[in-house]
Copies of this chain bind each other. A is one copy, B any other.
Amino acid sequence: MPQEPARRRPRPGSRHPTRVRLSDGHLANVYSAACPSRQALDRLADKWTVLIVGTLERGPLRFGQLRDAIDGISEKMLTQTLRSLERDGLVARRDHGTMPPQVDYRLTEIGTTLAAPVAAIRAWAEHYIVDIEAARSAHDQNQP
């Protein structure tokens, strides 16, 4: 059971109030973090989503193939991320019901539309990583 936030001195006039309590008791952000684009961005801004979508771009893959293709992902995170991608209608899961189990995953129609912007990001990453690393080491030279 989560403890009470334990604010030391609940004084008014906090300088940066990002949340307010609504009449129904829920907490909500003051401005608009509920903005649709923010919702979708948060969906993409985890460590594995973009990599899974990028890997499925070329066609359906089985669980083990995904695991082997995506360097460093744990089975747990692969399962979790696939589940939430399925929930959001970006990936479709097909269980053949055989024994031993055989399951494959493919992008849905919407998932496919995501592949394009994701590819753009990946292309940018591949092109500019050199400059980024250069800037990084130059910066670290001055402030070690």
Contact = CB atoms under 8 A, between A and B. Distances in A.
Interface of A: 16, 18, 29-33, 35-47, 50-51, 67, 71-72, 74-75, 86-90, 110, 113-114, 116-118, 120-126, 128-136, 138-140
Nearest to A15: B75
B45 A135 contact: no
Nearest to A127: B113
Interface of chain A, main secondary structure: helix
Name, among A31, A36, A47, A114, the residue most crowded by chain B CB atoms within 10 Å (CB to CB).
A36
B37 A126 contact: yes
28 contacts: A16-B67, A18-B72, A29-B71, A29-B72, A35-B71, A36-B126, A36-B130, A37-B125, A39-B132, A39-B133, A40-B124, A40-B126, A40-B132, A41-B121, A41-B122, A42-B47, A44-B125, A45-B46, A45-B47, A87-B136, A89-B131, A89-B132, A89-B135, A89-B138, A110-B135, A117-B123, A117-B124, A120-B121
B43 A132 contact: yes
Nearest to A40: B125
Contacts of A114: 124, 128
A123 B37 CA distance: 8
A74 B73 CA distance: 30
